Structure 1
Amino acid sequence: MPGINLSDFFKEKRSASEIKSEILNEYFKAWAAILLKGQSYKQIEKILYVDLFSGPGLYENGSQSTPIKILNSI
């Protein structure tokens, strides 16, 4: 995961939603890269990604949540 050393994992408490957002964003980038790499074999016109627990996209303090981070990584 970017910016996280395994040795530092337990030194700082992070919220579950922050960890989920980081994991899903990295997973989405890898998943989309694998799907789009197959473009030479078949034509993919749409990719559908659904996160039923994503929320509105912004936290109360204005920071980005999972849906916005994934859209920015596209």
Structure 2
Amino acid sequence: MMQEVPPAIPGEAWFKSSYSGAGHTECVEAAYAADGTAAVRDSKRATGPVLGFSSAAWAGFVAGIRNGAIA
């Protein structure tokens, strides 16, 4: 389930993947909200839209990346 999350997550909570673009131009940031959702945003638009994913949906996404099902 995907939902828009209000940008009420503290700035220090956001992190980038170590696999982000080498030129730092292709980056998304993620953070974990207090309610257990995972929030995702474009690092170049920190005040732009933030999407939230249930913990189950986020775990499935991460598992898919790790096992190569999502490239």
Taking structure 1 as the reference length, what is the TM-score of the superposition? Answer: 0.23
Taking structure 2 as the reference length, what is the TM-score of the superposition? Answer: 0.24
Higher relative helix content: 1
